[in-house]
Copies of this chain bind each other. A is one copy, B any other.
Amino acid sequence: MQSYTEENYLKIIYHLAEKTTNVQTNAIAEQMQTKPASVTDMIKKLADKGLVDYIKYQGVTLTETGKNAAIDIVRKHRLWEVFLVDKLNFKWDEVHDVAEELEHIKSTELIERLDEFLGFPKADPHGDPIPDKNGRFAKTQFIKLIELKVGDTGTITGVSQHSSAFLKHLEKLGLTLGIPIKISDITDFDGSVEIQLADKQVNISREVAKHILISSNGKN
């Protein structure tokens, strides 16, 4: 059994490992909003518990056990997010912080019943996949909107930024999950992207375009 803090470390290492193979101390420190020295301490502890593999100065990787524990926390986080949005009418930009707390409630029974109550959802309100109780989930085949070319079409199925500011911005533009889009132009001047929606045309910066995930329905 892991402590609240240990769980957070595992979760963050898991997310960082999605991008880079061996996760660095400084990166963890930044995510955990703590100091590198503290991270080193905790990493040693996690290594002693067999949750991470650790070689001094070489960063960490999750062991099988550690990865399973991390996936379990991610599963809880995402299920709670679905609960907050589907049942309690939270907006997708309001759920993150509360889910950060709820994900640490320790009860397998609770989370299995919640999963059932929610109808075994496959994705959370931001389009991220929800692992099943065995930790399995489909590797999602997303393309970043910014990688699309003029004329390409697709559907918004995820975001890679969960900040409230970003999500509110998308909401205001009408760029929410499930919305079909077509790239109508990419501005020469600043590379901003002109998008055709069902009923209107919107323009987004490259920075925004980086964090919108599209399930492509092929080139046009």
A contact residues vs B (CB 8 Å cutoff):
84, 87-90, 94, 97-98, 101-102, 105-107, 109-110, 113-114, 117
Most interface-central of A88, A89, A117 (chain B CB within 10 A): A88
CB distance from A149 to the nearest CB of B (A): 42
Query: For the complex formed by this chain, how many copies does it contain in all?
Result: 2
With beta carbons under 8 angstroms apart, the residue of B106, B109, B113 that contacts A101 is B106
Q: Are B110 and A98 in contact (CB under 8 A)?
A: yes
List of B residues within 8 angstroms of A105 by Cβ: 98, 101-102, 105
With the chains together, A114 CA to B90 CA distance in Å? Answer: 11
List of B residues within 8 angstroms of A90 by Cβ: 109, 113
List of B residues within 8 angstroms of A84 by Cβ: 110
With the chains together, A111 CA to B125 CA distance in Å? Answer: 20
Q: Are B88 and A113 in contact (CB under 8 A)?
A: yes
